[in-house]
Chain A
Amino acid sequence: MRLLTHNMLSSNIKGVTNGFPLLIEAVKVVEKEVDFNEDFLKNMFVKVEWKALVEASRTLGYTELPESAEASMLDSDEFLRKFHHALLELHLEDGALVCPETGRKFPVSKGIPNMLLHEDEV
């Protein structure tokens, strides 16, 4: 699971008001190369929650992302490369996602998070 997806996921449990962002417990992280596409990155920049992305990338062991980012930084190729790496090339293979409010863990195995809710959480 890439951080792109993690940045979009929120805890769906009944009664939870702020289920985003899910905290990451990383057991195994893999890096996979992905084609660089500037347009896509610019498109995604407006949608991404920057703080959550920085936090998550740090948990996965990547510390190059700046704390805060503005649209003007998109002109810098270096920044785009870092953004690209953090968003698309870091994969969480094994571990868990944790709901920030309830602490409920959603296990991640083989890169697939199990977001199935139990009967009482729906």
Chain B
Amino acid sequence: MEMGVGRGGGTKPPPMEVGNGGMGVGWKSAHSVSHFPLLQPALLPGLYSHRRRHLFVGEEKKDIKKTMTSRPELQAPPEIFYNDDEARKYTSSSRIIDIQAKLSERAVELLALPDDDVPRLLLDIGCGSGLSGETLTEFGHQWIGLDISPSMLDVALEREAEGDLILSDMGQGLGLRPGVIDGAISISAVQWLCNADKSSHEPRLRLKAFFGSLYRCLARGARAVLQVYPENVAQRELILGFAMRSGFSGGVVVDFPHSTKQRKEYLVLTCGQASLNSTTPNAKGEDGESCSDEDDSSGDEKNHSVSVSDRHRPRKKQKLNKKVRGKEWVLKKKDQMRRKGNAVPLDTKYTARKRKDRF
């Protein structure tokens, strides 16, 4: 008997052959799933593979989630992640071009350069394929771009970026003369410094080298605006901490703070404010005024004032004292309390004696 699926006015679609050849075509109902060849989860293209991937030996569920996130920093070091393919993909995506343009425009705005139509010499740190540099050119400035990925720089050459490009690692220091740069921007790059990509890398040393050299090469009063994607609060604090320690003053500007997608953070750092650390450098004079001495002023961490300011907190001068313990400090404090009129135990040979570690 013919299982005429065509019968009934042709409302049912004809079933597809399910691979058992010959006879099987007609006996399955038109509504069954076996219309379509059975698809294994692993064969499903991109969209669902991250949900149905089987765990490999030794992996846990959370490992999958981590690598499948949208953070490239967790996948590979930047010079490897941004290889030729990725560089091309990145630069041909109109969405990314659009975002980068917006971020760069905002960064230039935050640079607060004088409104006098004089082209300035700017730095584009982590310039990549020159997307952000294009914005700088549009504003009429000359710029020098630094990036660690040769593939990205090749794409920048193809796009005929107007600025000079340098292949370098910002964690090794910028290698620029003191006081020559009028402003610096960085779009989505500085958070890469927080990863230890090689065994010899120590993120803190790299952050220090970066911010120290950035501070030195900026002219007095110049700003650096760094748009970053910190992974978490700890990373943000780390980056900001090293920036402050290098002598910068400034804070964080957050655009669209309540939207997860649109939220963007900019570190706005200024060089050469009056209320700077106590090892305040002398201005160099007419030519090439710079923000710092020849010596590395960021190396001295004891007893220097850090001026901390941002939009939400009033300016506070914090004195950082390393030695907050010690016998004389304790005795001093006890004296203070006595003068106040508190009941303070007598000073004996046991006062501020070194206790065992477990205390």
* Contact indicator A11/B175 (Cβ below 8 Å): yes
* Contact indicator B200/A116 (Cβ below 8 Å): no
Q: Which A residue sits closest to B165, measured CB to CB?
A: A112
Q: Which positions 26-57 of chain A face chain B at CB distance < 8 Å?
A: 37, 39-40, 43-44, 46-47, 49
* Contact indicator B165/A47 (Cβ below 8 Å): no
State whether the Cβ of B109 lies closer than 8 Å to any Cβ in chain A: no
User: In the assembled complex, which residues on chain B have CB atoms less than 8 Å from the CB atom of A117?
Assistant: 169, 172
* Contact indicator A115/B121 (Cβ below 8 Å): no
The smallest beta-carbon distance between B240 and chain A, in angstroms, is: 24
The smallest beta-carbon distance between B300 and chain A, in angstroms, is: 20
User: In the assembled complex, which residues on chain B have CB atoms less than 8 Å from the CB atom of A12?
Assistant: 172-175, 213
* Contact indicator A40/B180 (Cβ below 8 Å): no
CA A112 – CA B130 in complex, angstroms? Answer: 13
Contact check: which of A2, A10, A116, A119 meets B164 at CB < 8 Å? A2
Identify the interface centre among B117, B167, B286: most chain A CB within 10 Å of its CB.
Answer: B167
* Contact indicator B120/A43 (Cβ below 8 Å): yes
Q: Known: A9-B176, A40-B119, A117-B172. Contact between A47 and B288, CB under 8 A?
A: yes
CA A119 – CA B176 in complex, angstroms? Answer: 20
* Contact indicator A115/B167 (Cβ below 8 Å): yes
CA A110 – CA B156 in complex, angstroms? Answer: 11
Q: Which A residue sits closest to B141, measured CB to CB?
A: A40
State whether the Cβ of B166 lies closer than 8 Å to any Cβ in chain A: yes
* Contact indicator B166/A112 (Cβ below 8 Å): yes
CA A43 – CA B140 in complex, angstroms? Answer: 14
Contact check: which of B168, B198, B209, B287 meets A47 at CB < 8 Å? B287
Identify the interface centre among B121, B157, B182, B288: most chain A CB within 10 Å of its CB.
Answer: B121
The smallest beta-carbon distance between B82 and chain A, in angstroms, is: 15
CA A11 – CA B177 in complex, angstroms? Answer: 9
User: In the assembled complex, which residues on chain A have CB atoms less than 8 Å from the CB atom of B117?
Assistant: 39
* Contact indicator A5/B177 (Cβ below 8 Å): no
State whether the Cβ of B131 lies closer than 8 Å to any Cβ in chain A: no
Q: Known: A37-B119, A47-B288, A111-B157. Contact between A5 and B172, CB under 8 A?
A: no
The smallest beta-carbon distance between B178 and chain A, in angstroms, is: 9
* Contact indicator A116/B172 (Cβ below 8 Å): yes
State whether the Cβ of B153 lies closer than 8 Å to any Cβ in chain A: yes
CA A74 – CA B246 in complex, angstroms? Answer: 36
* Contact indicator B157/A112 (Cβ below 8 Å): yes
* Contact indicator A43/B288 (Cβ below 8 Å): no
User: In the assembled complex, which residues on chain B have CB atoms less than 8 Å from the CB atom of A59?
Assistant: none
Q: Known: A9-B176, A46-B286. Contact between A111 and B169, CB under 8 A?
A: no
State whether the Cβ of B297 lies closer than 8 Å to any Cβ in chain A: no
State whether the Cβ of A20 lies closer than 8 Å to any Cβ in chain B: yes
State whether the Cβ of B179 lies closer than 8 Å to any Cβ in chain A: yes
User: In the assembled complex, which residues on chain A have CB atoms less than 8 Å from the CB atom of B166?
Assistant: 1, 5, 9, 112-113, 115
* Contact indicator B167/A8 (Cβ below 8 Å): no
State whether the Cβ of B64 lies closer than 8 Å to any Cβ in chain A: no
* Contact indicator B118/A39 (Cβ below 8 Å): yes
* Contact indicator A46/B164 (Cβ below 8 Å): no
Contact check: which of A9, A10, A116 meets B169 at CB < 8 Å? A116
The smallest beta-carbon distance between A105 and chain B, in angstroms, is: 14
Q: Which positions 113-154 of chain B face chain A at CB distance < 8 Å?
A: 116-121, 142, 144, 148, 153-154
State whether the Cβ of A122 lies closer than 8 Å to any Cβ in chain B: yes
* Contact indicator A8/B120 (Cβ below 8 Å): no
* Contact indicator A8/B287 (Cβ below 8 Å): no
Contact check: which of A2, A10, A122 meets B177 at CB < 8 Å? A10
CA A114 – CA B176 in complex, angstroms? Answer: 14
Q: Known: A37-B119, A43-B118, A115-B167. Contact between A8 and B144, CB under 8 A?
A: yes
The smallest beta-carbon distance between B20 and chain A, in angstroms, is: 60
Contact check: which of A19, A44, A49, A119 meets B121 at CB < 8 Å? A44
Can you name 16 extra interface pairs (CB under 8 A) apart from A47-B288, A113-B166?
A: A1-B165, A4-B121, A4-B164, A5-B144, A8-B181, A10-B176, A10-B177, A40-B120, A43-B121, A47-B179, A47-B287, A110-B154, A116-B168, A116-B169, A117-B172, A119-B198
Q: Which 6 A-B pairs have the closest CB atoms?
A: A12-B175, A115-B168, A5-B164, A40-B119, A39-B118, A114-B167
For this complex, 11 residue pairs linking A to B, each with C-beta atoms less than 8 Å apart, are A1-B166, A5-B144, A8-B176, A12-B172, A12-B175, A43-B121, A47-B180, A47-B287, A113-B167, A114-B168, A119-B198
